[in-house]
């Protein structure tokens, strides 16, 4: 009864009263943001996706450029000159009376209007090979854009769950501050009643101060996590569009996450866009090698032209021609040899990159699969640890209230609860992040 009377009548010292939570009300005006909304914003605003889209468009333009060499070419040109008409003899020309004429400064109009057309007939696959290589490069750029989109989705999902975890850790820190403030009030009452030594009060005040430090750190970590999330979505972190209240969600199970990793690796090699990128790059380089080898042979084409020339527009003299063109670079100082060797070396490098990527995909899938498996087990263990720690804290609080326990026992129990709660948060959202990574590793985004 003396203990209850002391607790009821003792007033806590204001100098050490609990302070308001750091994060309370900081996001009262924030709008809700679901994971699907964050993904849509990232796909619509992330600059890396716009960059990949621009590279694909540039690759499409190069396809059109290389295809132009296979199509007919027509050029229309016209010239006008105001020129003198003096004859200039050349060495070896027959002498004429005009050759001995004096110089005359009289000028005349001269018009030349014409059109020329050409068509490549055969060049040992040079032009067609460049066109097909550009087409394969376009497909590689499209696959690269898909890879960037997949990486963007992984980044935003990981940032979303990390921000949710930071939010829950902030709640854990707030709860710890609240409990430590409650313990401080109890201890002040005990000390004032002469039932506890002053060292207990010093110990509880230290625990409260440490809890506040953890609260500040948790609040900063949450703010940083929200900034990273805004960055992954392509939103400026200081704009109104970055003020969100996240919805608590979980990643659904990945198809095959309970199967063997070998099947997931096989699926990843078929589905990963990075593999498609290298496959198309290898195909493009193979066609480039063939096109360059065509430089050892001649190029045959057809040409035609028509023109009208004269000194007056109403007295132009017409001419036309048709014919064939043949070009054969017999001596280039080893230029074609060097180009072929360079292209073959690049082809070997791309093939090696593909082999290395397949090995890395196996590591990625194995790592993500193991993380999912471990996270499932960790969730159960972390939940049990949190339940036991809360029971331990309740027992410690009762022992302390009845004078059996000590401030050290009470503080240790509170620290255990805080650590277990943080561990439970990490396990819960660790599973979500592991599943997001597994989904990305398998290529099913």
Tens-place pLDDT, residues 180-196? 999 999 889 888 888 88
Give residue 95's pLDDT: 59
Give residue 93's pLDDT: 62
pLDDT of 7 above 60: no
Give residue 17's pLDDT: 38
Token digits for 395?
């027992």
Q: Per the domain annotation, does 384 fall within a domain? A: yes
Provide, rounded to the nearest whole percent, the portion of the chain with pLDDT above 90.
Answer: 73
Cα–Cα distance for residue pair 200/250, rounded to 1 Å: 43
Q: DSSP states of 290-342 as a string?
A: HHHHGGGS-EEEEEEEEEEEESSGGGPEEEEEEEEEEE-----TTHHHHHHHH
Cα–Cα distance for residue pair 277/361, rounded to 1 Å: 14
pLDDT of 83 above 50: yes
pLDDT of 23 above 50: no
pLDDT of 15 above 90: no
pLDDT of 100 above 60: no
Question: Range with the lowest mean pLDDT among 35-44, 46-55, 89-98, 357-366?
Answer: 89-98
Give residue 4's pLDDT: 36
pLDDT of 46 above 90: yes
Helix axes 335-401, 126-192, angle to 10 degrees: 20
Q: Per the domain annotation, does 147 fall within a domain? A: yes
Give residue 24's pLDDT: 40
In terms of Cα–Cα distance, which of 258, 284, 215, 213 is closest to 22?
215
Cα–Cα distance for residue pair 409/187, rounded to 1 Å: 13
Please, are residues 241 and 202 in contact by the beta-carbon 8 Å criterion? no
Band (pLDDT 50/70/90 cuts) for residue 401 is: confident
Q: Per the domain annotation, does 56 fall within a domain? A: yes
Give residue 393's pLDDT: 92
pLDDT of 58 above 90: yes
Q: Per the domain annotation, does 321 fall within a domain? A: no
Question: Which helix or strand (DSSP H or E) is residue 184 part of?
Answer: helix 126-192
Whole-number mean pLDDT of the chain?
A: 88
Higher-pLDDT residue of 51 and 24 is 51
Q: Per the domain annotation, does 347 fall within a domain? A: yes
User: Could you tell me the pTM of the whole model?
Assistant: 0.81
Cα–Cα distance for residue pair 86/96, rounded to 1 Å: 13
Please, are residues 230 and 160 in contact by the beta-carbon 8 Å criterion? no
Question: Range with the lowest mean pLDDT among 49-58, 88-97, 172-181, 287-296?
Answer: 88-97
pLDDT of 22 above 60: no
Cα–Cα distance for residue pair 218/23, rounded to 1 Å: 9
Give residue 14's pLDDT: 37
**Domain span at 394:** 2-14+23-72+125-296+335-442
Q: DSSP states of 371-416 as a string?
A: HHHHHHHHHHHHHHHHHHHHHHHHHHHHHHHTTSS-HHHHHHHHHH
Q: Per the domain annotation, does 301 fall within a domain? A: no
Band (pLDDT 50/70/90 cuts) for residue 434 is: very high
Give residue 444's pLDDT: 85
For residue 14, give the DSSP letter: G
The CATH number given to whatever domain includes residue 399 is 1.20.1600.10
Tens-place pLDDT, residues 107-144? 999 999 999 999 999 999 999 999 999 999 999 999 99
Domain count, the chain: 1
- Other Cβ atoms within 10 Å of 424 Cβ, number: 22
**Average pLDDT, stretch 151-171?**
95
List Cα–Cα distances, 420 to 208, 378, 379, 425, 426, in angstroms.
18, 12, 11, 9, 10
Token digits for 286?
């193979």
Q: Per the domain annotation, does 115 fall within a domain? A: no
Higher-pLDDT residue of 51 and 31 is 51
Q: Per the domain annotation, does 320 fall within a domain? A: no
In terms of Cα–Cα distance, which of 44, 116, 43 is closest to 77?
116
pLDDT of 11 above 50: no
3-state secondary structure of 239: coil
Token digits for 339?
């180009």
**Average pLDDT, stretch 207-235?**
94
Give residue 358's pLDDT: 95
């Amino acid at each position: 009864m003396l203990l209850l009377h002391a607790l009821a009548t003792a007033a806590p010292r204001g100098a050490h009263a609990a302070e308001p939570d750091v994060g309370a009300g900081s996001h009262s005006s924030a709008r809700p943001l679901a994971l699907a909304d964050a993904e849509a914003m990232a796909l619509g605003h992330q600059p890396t996706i716009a960059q990949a889209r621009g590279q694909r468009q540039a690759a499409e333009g190069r396809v059109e450029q290389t295809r132009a060499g296979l199509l007919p070419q027509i050029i229309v040109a016209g010239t006008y000159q105001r020129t003198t008409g003096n004859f200039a003899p050349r060495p070896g020309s027959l002498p004429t009376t005009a050759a001995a004429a004096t110089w005359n400064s009289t000028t005349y109009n001269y018009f030349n209007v014409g059109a020329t057309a050409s068509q490549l007939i055969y060049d040992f696959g040079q032009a067609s090979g460049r066109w097909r290589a550009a087409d394969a490069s376009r497909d590689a750029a499209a696959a690269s854009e898909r890879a960037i989109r997949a990486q963007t989705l992984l980044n935003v999902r990981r940032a979303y769950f990390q921000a949710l975890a930071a939010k829950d850790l902030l709640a854990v820190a707030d709860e710890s501050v609240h409990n430590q403030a409650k313990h401080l009030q109890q201890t002040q009452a005990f000390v004032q009643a002469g039932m506890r030594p002053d060292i207990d009060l010093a110990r509880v005040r230290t625990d409260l101060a440490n809890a506040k430090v953890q609260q500040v750190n948790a609040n900063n970590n949450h703010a940083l996590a929200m900034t990273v999330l805004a960055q992954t979505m392509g939103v400026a972190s200081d704009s109104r569009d970055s003020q969100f209240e996240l919805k608590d969600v979980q990643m659904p199970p990945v198809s095959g996450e309970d199967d063997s990793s070998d099947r997931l690796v096989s699926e990843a090699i078929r589905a990963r866009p990075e593999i498609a990128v290298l496959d198309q790059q290898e195909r493009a380089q193979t066609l480039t090698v063939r096109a360059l080898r065509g430089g050892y042979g001649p190029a045959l084409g057809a040409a035609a032209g028509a023109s009208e020339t004269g000194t007056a527009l109403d007295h132009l003299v017409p001419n036309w021609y048709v014919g064939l063109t043949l070009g054969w670079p017999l001596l280039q100082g080893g230029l074609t040899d060097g180009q072929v060797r360079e292209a073959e070396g690049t082809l070997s490098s791309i093939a090696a990159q593909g082999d290395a990527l397949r090995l890395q995909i196996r590591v990625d899938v194995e790592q993500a699969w193991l993380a999912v498996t471990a996270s499932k087990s960790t969730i159960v263990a972390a939940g049990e640890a949190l339940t036991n720690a809360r029971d331990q804290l309740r027992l410690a609080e009762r022992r302390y209230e009845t004078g059996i326990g000590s401030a050290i026992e009470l503080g240790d129990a509170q620290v255990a609860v805080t650590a277990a709660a943080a561990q439970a948060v990490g396990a819960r959202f660790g599973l979500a992040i592991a599943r997001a990574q597994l989904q990305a590793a398998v290529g099913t985004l």
